[in-house]
Structure 1
């Protein structure tokens, strides 16, 4: 019995261990956002670059530089790359333009091409591929438009909430969208029609900085220091209280784990979602976390408001 008790204590300590990153990548500028596609880390930076790294060995695969813009004083500066995505070999980027506007780019074979230019006067916050010919575009006004790449026009435009836009995530089949805003509510709508399906509320009472959407679960990272995970079938939620503003979060592919940027030290805390217990604390990011993404239940990647991207391996 004593040996069993000792084994249980040792197992508990190991499971709740503090972990350091397996690899650290230094990007060419402060990282604005990352995505993970087919073992590749795609990063947009404040230095006007879109950089791709191989997750296995952290080596750089490609480096795209966007044209410089003029700031409000007339000086030439590198544009920030606010949002990135990848489908097959085509890259997508939301890039800062002159006079505070933004442009949407496609990058094929290393060559950037403007898809929506600054003259459209669209203040784009985030964009993601729905398929190779349709892109979901979110505006700061919390309007969403589905853009037809071939026809170069909007298929629809909707405003799921009157509150200021924060984030959105597509589900794994890219058929549904979970959108967050300053209200704390999550609006679920059909990606191809824009029709609102459901509004989730009660979990957060303030701005939801980030959302993740896996299977029938939606994770919310809140300004109210609440990490919320909604069950779409029942509408119920689990709540994880942090000690600081929760700027980022993610769900593992199997929904076994949830990760949150949990404190002022920029630690990432991992929870076992079945038991609601903390199992790991990931230490290493020095600045405010902006993205967490799982590659599998054993690996994840994070970035913060500096040039460092970290790859983590779980025991």
Structure 2
């Protein structure tokens, strides 16, 4: 049913819905019967009709997915119809193509063979709604409030991780906790012993004001799992995202500076501009419009929100090196770029029409696009996806340059190494790789992961590479030769010594 309206409108041969299509005796199906609903109250669009459309139509008829140019995202657009004309004649279901095709009284039927048809109850509600005048919703749709609690004790994945720009610290989630590991350097001794570099647990971040739904101290960084993380370019601020919230931390003090709420779902991605003055978040509820928000780093205030940029959850965000462009990617399989207001306008940008605007989109991934980044010259974009591919795009030409294969499962994360054309990726196949965006070459691999890799990061100079796994372990590598330096765990997770 999800693609049924698209097929119907694409195959209509004339602009009038009244024209009878030719019969197809080879695919004849009996009409779906309507039933007497015995309702005393009128049909209400928001309560009775919209849920049917959401369940069976909106995947292909809302946001950027508009098969047959028919948008069913709002009441007004349902009535307006698609490229073939109006689909609903208020008060006359017998003349409304939406009803006739759904009921299989006209061909091509909706949904087509192989898809689940409307039930008699659903069809009868649509018929009655049309006959009553196809009235607009009389009540505002209220989303069910989701209350999250602490994750189970055994749920400790490292879904978010960030290497500090100077390569001397690594912040990593472990479930809803945030741990910091620091590089300890022991100078060469007088006897000629070599300098030693070791990674050690340093501290954990806790929000003392954080409480569970029943009012108890959470003793954690977030209530739900930490989904995203990024250091500011100066390394002094760490931004961490979770379900419906984001926290800005003072790295030196290990204390929260500001907690930002108001997100519709998970904050799946965070990216700072090169000058550190602003940061962007990506997220959104599954199958709904993706959420893209841009904030002022100093104040934590929302500056811009890009509405309906993606038709599904946004998993990756990245400012171009000059800060004038914003690349995003998501579950709708698209890579998109938005133009930021020109730098000459100053910061913060003035209010009004000078807001981020859509520039280009890149289509080629066949599954969720999970990560994204720019080459230092701002001319190329690299993306990775759940289709197991890494792709490189020419921004100016709007074309794909190459596909890069090597991972055997979904590529979950992508991170560019400083101002180089090299970037690191992690995959569900438990592998971590470094690539060259200029020639597509696999620079090196980083072995040792024992489970699904969620996230990768690297220092600005590329000497430190780190990955986060489903097994809760942070693996720290020498970025120049790929050797494993440390499989890091917080003290309470270290194996007990016998």
Instruction: Give TM-score scaled by structure 1 length.
Output: 0.73
Aligned counterpart, 2:62:
none
Offset of residue 228 of structure 1: 0.9
- Listed as ranges, the gaps of 5+ residues in structure 1 are 1-28
- The alignment partner of 1:59 has SS state of strand
Query: Partners of 1:314 and 1:72 in 2: how far apart?
Result: 49
Match status 1:243 vs 2:408: yes
Offset of residue 273 of structure 1: 4.8
Match status 1:195 vs 2:338: no
CA contact (8 A) 1:106 1:112 kept: yes
Aligned counterpart, 1:134:
278
Could you say if the C-alpha distance between residues 249 and 49 of structure 1 is closer, same or farther in structure 2, counting changes exceeding 3 Å?
A: closer
Equivalent residue for 2:313, pick from 157, 161, 164: 164
Offset of residue 145 of structure 1: 2.1
Offset of residue 255 of structure 1: 4.9
Aligned counterpart, 1:212:
373
More helix by share: 2
Could you say if the C-alpha distance between residues 58 and 276 of structure 1 is closer, same or farther in structure 2, counting changes exceeding 3 Å?
A: same
CA contact (8 A) 2:229 2:238 kept: yes
Query: Partners of 1:95 and 1:252 in 2: how far apart?
Result: 22
Aligned counterpart, 2:265:
123
Equivalent residue for 2:172, pick from 34, 38, 43: 43
Offset of residue 51 of structure 1: 2.0
Query: Partners of 1:93 and 1:200 in 2: how far apart?
Result: 28
Query: Partners of 2:236 and 2:433 in 1: how far apart?
Result: 33
Could you say if the C-alpha distance between residues 114 and 89 of structure 1 is closer, same or farther in structure 2, counting changes exceeding 3 Å?
A: same
Aligned counterpart, 1:145:
293
Query: Partners of 2:442 and 2:298 in 1: how far apart?
Result: 47
Aligned counterpart, 1:312:
478
Aligned counterpart, 1:92:
238
Query: Partners of 1:134 and 1:271 in 2: how far apart?
Result: 28
Could you say if the C-alpha distance between residues 299 and 238 of structure 1 is closer, same or farther in structure 2, counting changes exceeding 3 Å?
A: farther
- The alignment partner of 2:227 has SS state of strand
CA contact (8 A) 1:103 1:124 kept: no
Q: What pairs up with 1:47-86 in 2 under 5 angstroms?
A: 47-54=176-183, 57-67=198-208, 68-70=210-212, 78=220, 79=222, 80-86=225-231
Offset of residue 269 of structure 1: 3.5
Instruction: Give TM-score scaled by structure 2 length.
Output: 0.49
**What is the alpha-carbon root mean square deviation over aligned residues?**
3.3
| CA deviation string 1:62-109 (max 9, x = no partner) | 43223454269989574333322333353233354xxx5424334363
Q: Give the length in aligned residue pairs.
A: 280
Could you say if the C-alpha distance between residues 129 and 111 of structure 1 is closer, same or farther in structure 2, counting changes exceeding 3 Å?
A: same
Could you say if the C-alpha distance between residues 165 and 256 of structure 1 is closer, same or farther in structure 2, counting changes exceeding 3 Å?
A: closer
Query: Partners of 1:256 and 1:153 in 2: how far apart?
Result: 33
CA contact (8 A) 2:181 2:203 kept: yes
Larger Rg computed on CA atoms:
2
- Listed as ranges, the gaps of 5+ residues in structure 2 are 1-155, 185-196, 342-354, 482-498
Could you say if the C-alpha distance between residues 309 and 174 of structure 1 is closer, same or farther in structure 2, counting changes exceeding 3 Å?
A: farther
Structure ranking higher on relative contact order (CA contacts 8 Å, 6+ apart): 1
Offset of residue 158 of structure 1: 0.9
Could you say if the C-alpha distance between residues 275 and 92 of structure 1 is closer, same or farther in structure 2, counting changes exceeding 3 Å?
A: closer
CA contact (8 A) 2:283 2:313 kept: no
Offset of residue 187 of structure 1: 0.9
More strand by share: 1
